[in-house]
C-alpha cells in the first residue's frame, strides 16, 4: 500500500496536548488546517525532545542565516485551548524529523508512524513512495517557538516531583528510594 503523507503548509493550529489524568495521560500532537484535522499519539519524552530541538534549531537558524527568531512566542501565537475533539489517533509516532526550509523560512517537523521495518533516514522529510505514513508541518519561527513553549507547559502539567528523589508523586504519594521505602505514619 502506498505511503500517506499529510502535509500542513500553513496550519491553523499545531499543538501538543494530552488526554487523561496526570500519571495516566496520552500525549498527542494535533495539526489542523481549514477542515482537516490530524492527531498522532506519542510518548511524553518525544514531546520533550521535540520542544528542546525546536529551540536549538531556532537558535542555529538565527546564528547561521540571520533569520529573525523571537526569544519568546508572541502573545498572539500562544494557544491555550484544549485539543480539538474528537481526538482520533491517526497513528503512533515512531521517528521524528526536524529541519529548516530556507525557501519558505519555515521549521519543518515530520512525524513518522511506528513501523515494523527499520526506517531508513532517507525517508524522513522525503516524498518517497515507500515508508511509513507521515505528518509534515511547516511552521514560522514564531509559531515554532509558541509550539515549543506550549509543549513545555503540557509536559510540566503532570504529577509534581518528589522533593527528595524527583520521581513523580502519585495521588497517594510513593515509595521514595531516598527513604529506603520508609513512609511515616500518623503514629510516628
What pLDDT, in 10s, does the model give residues 3-20?
Answer: 899 999 999 999 999 999
In the predicted structure, residue 159 carries a pLDDT above the cut 80: no
In the predicted structure, residue 46 carries a pLDDT above the cut 90: yes
Greater pLDDT, 161 or 119: 161
pLDDT in tens, 92-150: 999 999 999 999 999 999 999 998 877 767 667 777 788 899 999 999 999 999 999 99
pLDDT at 181: 57
pLDDT at 35: 92
Task: Provide CB contacts within 8 A for 99, sequence distance 6+.
Answer: 57, 107, 108, 110, 125
DSSP string, 166-183: -PBPBTTB---GGGTT--
Task: Give the CA angle between residues 150, 125, 52 to the nearest 5°.
Answer: 30
Amino acid at each position: 500500500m502506498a505511503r500517506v503523507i499529510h502535509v500542513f503548509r500553513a496550519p491553523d493550529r499545531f499543538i501538543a496536548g494530552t488526554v487523561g489524568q496526570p500519571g495516566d495521560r496520552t500525549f498527542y500532537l494535533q495539526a489542523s488546517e481549514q477542515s482537516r484535522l490530524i492527531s498522532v499519539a506519542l510518548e511524553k519524552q518525544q514531546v520533550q525532545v521535540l520542544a528542546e530541538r525546536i529551540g536549538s534549531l531556532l537558535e542555529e537558524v538565527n546564528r547561521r542565516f540571520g533569520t529573525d527568531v523571537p526569544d519568546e512566542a508572541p502573545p498572539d501565537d500562544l494557544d491555550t485551548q484544549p485539543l480539538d475533539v474528537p481526538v482520533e489517533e491517526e497513528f503512533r509516532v515512531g521517528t521524528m524529523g526536524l529541519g529548516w526550509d530556507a525557501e519558505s523560512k519555515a521549521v519543518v517537523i515530520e512525524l513518522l508512524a511506528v513501523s515494523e521495518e527499520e526506517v531508513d533516514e532517507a525517508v524522513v522529510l522525503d516524498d518517497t513512495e515507500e515508508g511509513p505514513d507521515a505528518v509534515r508541518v511547516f511552521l514560522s519561527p514564531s509559531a515554532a517557538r509558541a509550539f515549543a513553549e506550549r509543549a513545555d507547559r503540557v509536559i510540566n502539567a503532570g504529577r509534581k516531583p518528589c522533593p527528595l528523589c524527583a520521581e513523580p508523586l502519585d495521588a497517594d504519594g510513593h515509595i521514595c528510594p531516598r527513604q529506603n521505602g520508609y513512609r511515616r505514619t500518623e503514629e510516628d
